Amino acid sequence: MTTYSAPVEDMMFLFEHLRDNKNYNEIERYKEINTDLVKDILQEAAKINQELIFPLAKVGDENPCVYENGVVRTPPGYKEVYSKFIEDGWTSLSCDPKYGGQGMPKTVSTFFEEMLSSSSLSFKLYSELSLGAYNCILHHGSEEIKNRYLPKIVEGKWSGTMCLTEPQCGTDLGLIKTKAIKDGNSSYKLNGQKIFITSGDHDLTENIIHLVLARIPDAPKGTKGISLFLVPKFWVYDDGTIGSRNGVDTSSIETKMGIKGSSTCVLNFENATGYMIGPENKGLSSMFTMMNLERIVVGIQGLGISETAYQTALNYSKERKQGKANNNISTDTDLIIKHADIRRSLMNMKSIIEGERSLAFWMSQQVDVSLNHPETSVRKKASEIVGLLTPVIKSFFTDMGMEITNEAIQIFGGYGFTKDQGVEQLFRDNRITPIYEGTNSVQAMDLVFRKITEKNVFESFVKNIDDEIEISRKNEKLNRHITNVFELKDTLLNFTRWIDPKGNTPKNDISASCNDYLKFFGYFCLAFIWLKILRKSYENYKSNKEFYDEKINTGNYYFDKIIPRADSHYRSAISGSKFTMGAKFN
Amino acid sequence: MTTYSAPVEDMMFLFEHLRDNKNYNEIERYKEINTDLVKDILQEAAKINQELIFPLAKVGDENPCVYENGVVRTPPGYKEVYSKFIEDGWTSLSCDPKYGGQGMPKTVSTFFEEMLSSSSLSFKLYSELSLGAYNCILHHGSEEIKNRYLPKIVEGKWSGTMCLTEPQCGTDLGLIKTKAIKDGNSSYKLNGQKIFITSGDHDLTENIIHLVLARIPDAPKGTKGISLFLVPKFWVYDDGTIGSRNGVDTSSIETKMGIKGSSTCVLNFENATGYMIGPENKGLSSMFTMMNLERIVVGIQGLGISETAYQTALNYSKERKQGKANNNISTDTDLIIKHADIRRSLMNMKSIIEGERSLAFWMSQQVDVSLNHPETSVRKKASEIVGLLTPVIKSFFTDMGMEITNEAIQIFGGYGFTKDQGVEQLFRDNRITPIYEGTNSVQAMDLVFRKITEKNVFESFVKNIDDEIEISRKNEKLNRHITNVFELKDTLLNFTRWIDPKGNTPKNDISASCNDYLKFFGYFCLAFIWLKILRKSYENYKSNKEFYDEKINTGNYYFDKIIPRADSHYRSAISGSKFTMGAKFN
């Protein structure tokens, strides 16, 4: 059986001790978000996740969404838990109080995102896209639109979707065909088909607010001619009440290898009324407000599923007896957790997961600064760091999620392959995360061709590392870790110079190496954050020796055992692309 | 849709040009197995695999085995194809003519094993375990047993199983509880439960011959007190006809994440009559005759599934248009195969798959020598090399199978996650291969604690490498590859000295590093075999430029892009196990 107990202690460690972003701590409204309050929230969050949402994971896998007579039904129990979920206000956690939200910072809501991902990704997705829609409308919608739609979305009574993909276009949004034509009012009529629409239809909310990319007549070709529209499933009158159906129909749902409790829809827009969000032909950039935050959240999904896989495998390894460990001279068999090779697997998971959680927390502070700091220049700088790390978190966390769920199955042996144990579901559920919201290849290209080309952004990121190294020098126990991070940084700089699209490296060499570069970047970021965790662990050591001993042990493991992987990506990349491009594939 | 066309050309290249084992070429009975004959066989094999067996993969996934009223039914179509399969004599391909076999060498039958794995692993398993049983009975059964059981197994009318695992014992067979008590005749009565029994029950054959590990009264504890028994599902009379049911019942079948067309059974033995195979309490070593060959075959499964994943992804990348490649200055989008990052994925797959196929072929020659060479000392030496490489092939090929099927899904983007396309099934089907027949961790421990400790065996393996390096020196185009293999060999020797259980390295350091050692070994073996392929490609270049250009390109890719991974395993391993063992996991 899968096991999940929310890692509140680890989260509180981060909130208490890694909250060292000066700009974050200057944000007035977050000054009152103190340790006690956060602990209360996380404990409540743990409760609903462990008790109500976690059991939905298996239910959803065994009773996938059903599409019948044009209607999508979610798995048994989803409706009841969703009601409780919105009644307790969980959809509004990080939203603006102006629209009914609780105004919590990302530093807190990201923990909640992780817990939800650990409990049931399928269930989570119904509210996750609502938050995406909320962000997009909040930043690009008119006052009228915001006032009409946001309160219901924040309350969770209405949900949201992102409608980008069409049969002929996934990664390449320039190929979008859906059309939008002015209908004489302030609205448009939309026609076209969208596929792979998460939560595109379901029975949990009264209305569904679709955010749809489409082309207006005479729009420029490619991505420069795409506009964004808000298309509700049901008409919404001026007073906010709901009318009859709009022209959006579900023609089918996908049968998938995982997240079977989440409905993935084919939506047909037939003269559907929509309202333009943001300026004409600038839809893609508005949508990216939603996409960018979503991408971080997808990374958190990978982290969350990894945590459940780890806990489940750990639990099993404390129950299953098999063979004898090296130091056993008795005739009894040992629990498998005594075996060095099982411990290696568990420590791989643990050191990566705790590093990721810390990096996500560090990043959340940057997100909060980028959204809420009073000074524009500070916001901008934080926003750039967020932009730089978004593809890394999205891809690295989800790829590691595959490694970790895979290792968890392996620890179960033959039982891991059976449905009964549930651990294989985590492996299947996680498999979507390296794909959706931009495949991990697209993320890697985004990192290389768009993000690192902003020299000052990259330099400002490196300054964070240098600062950490500088402070850590005070503790000589960190000497070897500093040396490690320093060497890695050196390679990162060389790698970055080599792969810089503005440099002399042939473009195919660069394209063929983006994936390796991103992986290197990921391992590097975790090394940086582990250095910080180690420093904080020594600083606070006396307050909780048991906790910090384990942290220090885990950090050391990361430096010894995981970091050696990074270099191979560099060496593979710089060998160029002669044979990659030379293949005939006949 | 998945795609499979048997890689006969590549196989024939290996059979014609990599058949350079002097001892193999001395085996009298294989001298007549010439190129034309093998080509005919492979073409016929390709036909039945592509046309009849391949379609069963999807059928089996969508209509898993059914257990009802004590009876197991295979998926629709399995029965018909199995009849044709045995009618055409495919079960007898590598079996001894004395029992109705065709006496083909492993060099040929291994290709067939690969094709079957590529087509439908579930279907394959019904005959695969029969071959395992055949081998075990052939080597350890009495003449009477052999004459009674082998002809029907070779003919495919009866199938076989290996019954090792029990609820409390998977990896650790010392915990076996099933009991066998003499019944006064030459037979025994068996009582106990066996789980995870592949093809333990089904409706394809008239009888099922179980090979069962059990304990006789007063047997020594642990693995030294296990005997092996032959237990038929139906009684077999002296004249070979079948009687009533023996005391073996199926109490359930597993619901699994993959290979759903294969029945995985819980078998209850209740006073089941069995016949001892081999000597008392030496059952494990007899079973290992079966296990060892099976382990190689499981490696081949990983290779076979990888090939289908590669072909399927390649095919899709030649159909799907998305985005523009670097050299595209037109306004049209490109097929995704033009993109450097997609090519990287495909080349990763291709260079690993072709290396594996070649290594498997090289190994098959050793297997044939170990079984059929007239001189005992030559047989022994070959057998030792086979023993050394068996865990490598089992683990490395199946782990790479996970990487390759994972990458294949990624190339499909969102479509890869849906059931329609079928590529996700390969990922699920392959997931059992790193688990069964001894988990990959067990293989790694076998390699380190049993195989490399035989110094002369390891040295004899290294001599193969040295010989290859020596011959390759004649071609200066191979200089950089030789340098590469030479450096890798150097690291392998250091790594082996470090990990040698007879040396000074702490035992936990060794146990925690077996997995890294095996991975290093795997990458090294592929480098060795690619050096050989490259040499042969240059030697035969003029006869088929197109073919050899692609081979040379692929080999170069392996050296540039894949080899850098090896070193990270060495570096990770030698950092020891202090933090692996130090974790508290509270």
pTM of the model: 0.97
Query: Residue B107: which H helix or E strand, with range?
Result: helix B106-119
> Which residues does chain A have within 8 Å of residue B511's beta carbon, measured at their own beta carbons?
326, 339-341
In whole angstroms, what is the distance from residue A256 CA to residue B420 CA?
A: 8
Cross-chain residue pair B428–A257, CB shorter than 8 Å: yes
pLDDT digits 0-9 by tens, A270-289: 999 999 999 999 999 888 87
Cross-chain residue pair B333–A571, CB shorter than 8 Å: no
CA-closest candidate to residue A437, choices A196, A93, A116: A196
Cross-chain residue pair B323–A255, CB shorter than 8 Å: no
In whole angstroms, what is the distance from residue A228 CA to residue A214 CA?
A: 6
Position of tokens 């084919």?
Answer: A266
DSSP 3-state assignment of B477? Answer: helix
pLDDT digits 0-9 by tens, B166-215: 998 888 888 999 999 999 888 999 999 999 999 999 999 999 999 999 99
So what's the pLDDT on residue A528?
Answer: 98
Cross-chain residue pair A322–B172, CB shorter than 8 Å: yes
So what's the pLDDT on residue B586?
Answer: 85
Query: Residue B162: which H helix or E strand, with range?
Result: strand B158-163
In whole angstroms, what is the distance from residue B206 CA to residue B202 CA?
A: 10
pLDDT digits 0-9 by tens, B269-288: 999 999 999 999 999 988 88
CA-closest candidate to residue A64, choices A259, A251, A195: A259
So what's the pLDDT on residue A388?
Answer: 97
Evaluate whether B123 touches B159 at the Cβ level (below 8 Å): no
Residue of B nearest to A430 (CA): B417
Residue of A nearest to B586 (CA): A550
What one-character DSSP code corresponds to residue B70? T
Backbone angles phi, psi at B263, to 5 degrees: -85, 125
Residue B237 burial (CB count, 10 A) = 9
In whole angstroms, what is the distance from residue A506 CA to residue A186 CA?
A: 49
In whole angstroms, what is the distance from residue B278 CA to residue B159 CA?
A: 20
Contacts 24+ apart (CB under 8 A), B238-247: B238/B148, B240/B148, B240/B151, B240/B152, B242/B206, B242/B207, B246/B272, B246/B273, B247/B189, B247/B190, B247/B271, B247/B272, B247/B273
> Which residues does chain A have within 8 Å of residue B413's beta carbon, measured at their own beta carbons?
170-171, 435, 439
The share of chain A scoring above pLDDT 70, in percent, equals 100
Instruction: Tell me the angle at which helices B340-372 and B376-411 cross, rounded to the nearest 10 degrees.
Output: 160
> Does pLDDT of B229 surpass 90?
yes
Residue of A nearest to B427 (CA): A428
Backbone angles phi, psi at B244, to 5 degrees: -85, 175
Average pLDDT over residues B365-375: 96
What one-character DSSP code corresponds to residue A522? H
So what's the pLDDT on residue A330?
Answer: 86
**Cα→Cα distances A9→A96, B34, B187, B557, Å:** 27, 69, 61, 47
Tell me the count of A-B CB pairs closer than 8 A: 257
In whole angstroms, what is the distance from residue A379 CA to residue A427 CA?
A: 37
Residue B214: left if φ>0, alpha if ψ -120 to 50, beta else—which one? beta
In whole angstroms, what is the distance from residue A211 CA to residue A189 CA?
A: 14
What one-character DSSP code corresponds to residue B230? E
Backbone angles phi, psi at A88, to 5 degrees: -80, 0
CA-closest candidate to residue B536, choices B552, B553, B522: B552
Non-local (6+) Cβ contacts of B429 within 8 A are B57, B61, B121, B122, B258, B259, B305
Backbone CA torsion sign across B19, B21, B26, B27: negative
Range with lowest mean pLDDT among A10-14, A327-331, B517-521: A327-331
> Does pLDDT of A6 surpass 80?
yes
Residue A472 burial (CB count, 10 A) = 20
ipTM value for the complex: 0.96
Residue B483 burial (CB count, 10 A) = 12
So what's the pLDDT on residue A331?
Answer: 82
Position of tokens 């498999």?
Answer: A431
The share of chain B scoring above pLDDT 90, in percent, equals 93
- Higher per-residue confidence, A285 vs A10: A10
Non-local (6+) Cβ contacts of B329 within 8 A are none
Average pLDDT over residues A215-241: 94
pLDDT digits 0-9 by tens, B463-490: 999 999 999 999 999 999 999 999 999 9
Residue A141: left if φ>0, alpha if ψ -120 to 50, beta else—which one? beta
From the list B195, B435, B550, which residue is nearest A586 (CB)? B550
So what's the pLDDT on residue A186?
Answer: 87
Cross-chain residue pair A428–B257, CB shorter than 8 Å: yes
Query: Residue A230: which H helix or E strand, with range?
Result: strand A227-232
> Does pLDDT of B101 surpass 80?
yes
So what's the pLDDT on residue B125?
Answer: 98
So what's the pLDDT on residue B106?
Answer: 97
CA-closest candidate to residue B430, choices B253, B293, B304: B304
What one-character DSSP code corresponds to residue A484? H
> Does pLDDT of A451 surpass 80?
yes
Quickly state the pLDDT bin for A502 (edges 50, 70, 90).
very high
In whole angstroms, what is the distance from residue B121 CA to residue B307 CA?
A: 13
So what's the pLDDT on residue B82?
Answer: 98
CA-closest candidate to residue A212, choices A286, A144, A143, A124: A286
So what's the pLDDT on residue B287?
Answer: 86
In whole angstroms, what is the distance from residue B498 CA to residue B520 CA?
A: 13
> Which residues does chain B have within 8 Å of residue A432's beta carbon, measured at their own beta carbons?
417
> Does pLDDT of B292 surpass 90?
no
Residue B459: left if φ>0, alpha if ψ -120 to 50, beta else—which one? alpha
Quickly state the pLDDT bin for B567 (edges 50, 70, 90).
very high
So what's the pLDDT on residue B252?
Answer: 96
pLDDT digits 0-9 by tens, B105-118: 999 999 999 999 99
Domain ranges of chain B: 439-578
Question: Mind telling me how many Å the CA of A108 is from chain B's nearest CA?
Answer: 24
Q: What is the DSSP string of A54-96?
A: HHHHHHHHHS--EEETTEEEPPTTHHHHHHHHHHTTGGGTTS-
In whole angstroms, what is the distance from residue A124 CA to residue A107 CA?
A: 18
In whole angstroms, what is the distance from residue A368 CA to residue B366 CA?
A: 63
From the list B254, B343, B410, which residue is nearest A439 (CB)? B410
Average pLDDT over residues A196-210: 97
Helices (H), B373-478: 376-411, 423-430, 440-445, 455-472
**Catalytic entry in B437, B468, B476, B546:** B437
So what's the pLDDT on residue A290?
Answer: 75
Count the residues in chain A. Answer: 586
CA-closest candidate to residue A124, choices A357, A297, A383: A297
> Which residues does chain B have within 8 Å of residue A557's beta carbon, measured at their own beta carbons?
579-580, 583
So what's the pLDDT on residue B84?
Answer: 98
Non-local (6+) Cβ contacts of A243 within 8 A are A234, A235, A236, A237
So what's the pLDDT on residue B2?
Answer: 95
> Does pLDDT of B289 surpass 80?
no
Evaluate whether B212 touches B251 at the Cβ level (below 8 Å): no
Residue of A nearest to B198 (CA): A414
Quickly state the pLDDT bin for A229 (edges 50, 70, 90).
very high
So what's the pLDDT on residue B291?
Answer: 83
Quickly state the pLDDT bin for B254 (edges 50, 70, 90).
very high
Burial class (CB in 10 A: 0-12, 13-18, 19+), A12: middle
In whole angstroms, what is the distance from residue A514 CA to residue A449 CA?
A: 9
Average pLDDT over residues A91-116: 97
In whole angstroms, what is the distance from residue A446 CA to residue A438 CA?
A: 10
So what's the pLDDT on residue A458?
Answer: 97
> Does pLDDT of A131 surpass 90?
yes
So what's the pLDDT on residue A238?
Answer: 85
Q: Which residues pair with A182 in a beta bridge?
A: A188
Task: Retrieve residue A355's tokens.
Answer: 């590093």
- Residue A16 annotated in active site: no
DSSP 3-state assignment of B301? Answer: helix
Average pLDDT over residues A464-476: 97
> Which residues does chain B have within 8 Å of residue A333's beta carbon, measured at their own beta carbons?
172, 174-175
Helices (H), B237-339: 283-317
Non-local (6+) Cβ contacts of B110 within 8 A are B300, B360, B361, B364
Mean pLDDT of chain B: 96
Evaluate whether B452 touches B500 at the Cβ level (below 8 Å): yes
Instruction: Tell me the angle at which helices B106-119 and B35-48 cross, rounded to the nearest 10 degrees.
Output: 20
